[in-house]
């Protein structure tokens, strides 16, 4: 009886969403992990710490020369991620921002980038304060409206950068519509989707027309808050050859140990994301019903402005929630300071629940006037809902709201 109830809950949670990707868990566990590639027949890929590899003769090697150029442990991870993204290729780099920098290095002085207006603060900072200063022409557009993206495209536009859902205001972009707009304007424009929030389990940007799917794997893809890493997947041979060259030439590669940990994290990605969705939905519904909360932004709720887009292009939702608490900065601070289960910390996507204040923490580098336009106000709070028991998560949110607004129940 209890099992049937859980199955009914699961069906209701995923009602209307796209069908889950076939054999996702099987591919996460087996692709790139074949024991036959090792003389030892190890079931778990070993950590190859060697920086250099013996050659049979000068220039005659067994696939590896120097660990920056290629590493067996990294190779296992890249094959697995490519499979989960429905891609031919993947490169792993030292961080999400390293992926952003590596991709942007495909451009030259004078080339244009159109970026989603609401993005991770580090992405905004890199484009505005570094890329723009070395001669790239950067502009921002609200890509939730494809017509605004179309209006922003110019003859020199070479890269369209989409983040969906966005960080921190959880806007959702129609990847297919925006990819079509960009490619109709110029087939050579490279459309990049930052898929960090959704992970490969809930969204496949390449299947919707994007050219590159990238991640801060630090978040959900690794899922244990113990690795800093970036990933980029693609199907086009030319993009892979260029990015593989840049991966080696720029040198921002991850360590074999981090590759091992992230590869291990992928094995439970499907289980973790399902629990994140369940807990996230429960927390979002609780907050939306609470009189001390002004507004909740969670893509899984019907109240989300792009809820229909989410259901069309995703197979579920992560545990990311943004909400506005009623009052002012002191109320947001009181809420955060009184959390007991949630830790006040940057980052997201780990098994533990985290909470943060974007205007003061992750998006402090975004100019204040831009934060105001985007809605990153003093009362905005971002939650990364973890894998704890649902009732404990709800209770922690309740008692923190009680502390922030003791006179409103």
Hey, is 215 helix, strand or coil?
strand
CB–CB of 276/387 below 8 Å?
Answer: yes
Q: Strand pairing partners for 170?
A: none
Catalytic residue among 64, 68, 295, 398: 68
**In this structure, what token pair is assigned to residue 311?**
């259901």
- Strands 212-216 and 190-194 come out as parallel
Q: Identify each DSSP E strand in 107-216 by its residue range.
A: 112-116, 137-141, 157-163, 190-194, 212-216
CB 314 within 8 A of CB 198: yes
Question: Alpha-carbon dihedral of residues 161, 167, 168, 173, nearest 10 degrees?
Answer: 60
Closest CA to 89 of 97, 101, 98, 77: 77
Q: CA-based angle 88:83:261, to the nearest 5?
A: 120
Among 194, 258, 290, 396, which one carries the catalytic annotation?
A: 194
Q: Does the annotation mark 120 as catalytic? A: yes
**DSSP secondary structure string, 159-212?**
EEEEESS-TTT-----HHHHHHHHHHH-TTPEEEEE-TTTHHHH--GGGGT-SE
Q: How far apart are CA 115 and CA 159, in angstroms?
A: 8
Active site (annotated) includes residue 194:
yes
3-state secondary structure of 363: coil
Q: Known catalytic residue: 236? A: no
Query: CA–CA separation, 247 vs 252, rounded Å?
Result: 6
Residue tagged active-site, from 158, 204, 219, 382: 219
Residue holding tokens 């990015």? 243
139 close to 148: Cβ distance less than 8 angstroms: no
| Residue keyed to tokens 């909740």 | 296
Residue among 108, 64, 127, 27 at smallest CA distance from 253: 64
Q: Which two tokens stand for residue 43?
A: 């079931």
CA torsion through residues 240, 244, 249, 253, sign: positive
Starting from the edge strand earliest in sequence, which strands make up the sheet with 293-297, in order?
293-297, 320-325, 380-384, 354-356, 343-344
Q: Which of 120, 126, 220, 324 is catalytic?
A: 120
End-to-end CA distance of the chain: 35
Catalytic residue numbers, as ranges? 68, 120, 194, 219
């Amino acid at each position: 009886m209890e099992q049937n109830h859980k199955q009914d809950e699961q069906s209701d949670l995923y009602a209307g969403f796209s069908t889950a990707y076939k054999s996702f868990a099987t591919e996460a566990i087996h692709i790139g992990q074949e024991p036959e590639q090792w003389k030892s027949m190890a079931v778990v890929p070993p950590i190859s710490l060697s920086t250099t590899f013996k050659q049979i003769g000068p220039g005659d090697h067994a696939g590896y020369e120097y660990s920056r150029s290629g590493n067996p442990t990294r190779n296992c991870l890249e094959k697995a991620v490519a499979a989960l993204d429905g891609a031919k290729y993947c490169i792993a780099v030292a961080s999400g921002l390293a992926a952003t920098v590596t991709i942007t290095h495909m451009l030259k002085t004078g080339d244009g980038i159109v970026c989603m207006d609401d993005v991770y603060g580090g992405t905004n900072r890199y484009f505005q304060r570094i890329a723009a200063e070395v001669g790239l022409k950067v502009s921002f557009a609200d890509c939730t409206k494809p017509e605004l993206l179309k209006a922003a495209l110019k003859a020199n536009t070479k890269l369209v950068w989409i983040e969906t859902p966005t960080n921190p205001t959880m806007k959702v972009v129609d990847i297919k519509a925006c990819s079509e707009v960009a490619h109709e304007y110029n087939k050579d424009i490279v459309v990049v989707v930052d898929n960090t929030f959704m992970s490969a389990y809930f969204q496949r940007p390449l299947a919707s027309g994007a050219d590159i799917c990238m991640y801060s794997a630090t978040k959900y893809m690794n899922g244990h808050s113990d690795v800093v890493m970036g990933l980029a997947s693609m199907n086009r041979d030319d993009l892979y050859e260029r990015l593989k060259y840049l991966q080696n030439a720029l040198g921002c590669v991850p360590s074999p140990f981090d590759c091992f940990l992230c590869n291990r994290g992928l094995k439970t990605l499907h289980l973790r994301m399902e629990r994140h969705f369940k807990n996230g939905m429960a927390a979002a519904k609780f907050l939306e019903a609470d009189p001390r909360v002004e507004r909740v932004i969670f893509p899984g709720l019907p109240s989300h402005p792009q809820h229909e887009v989410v259901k069309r292009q995703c197979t579920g939702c992560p545990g990311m929630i943004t909400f506005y608490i009623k009052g002012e900065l002191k109320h947001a601070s009181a809420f955060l300071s009184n959390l007991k289960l949630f830790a006040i910390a940057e980052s997201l996507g780990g098994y533990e629940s985290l909470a943060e204040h974007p205007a003061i923490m992750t998006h402090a580098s975004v100019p204040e006037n831009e934060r105001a336009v985007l809605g990153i106000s003093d009362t905005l709070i971002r939650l990364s809902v973890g894998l704890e028991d649902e009732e404990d998560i709800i209770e922690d949110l309740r008692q923190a709201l009680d502390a922030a607004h003791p006179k409103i129940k």
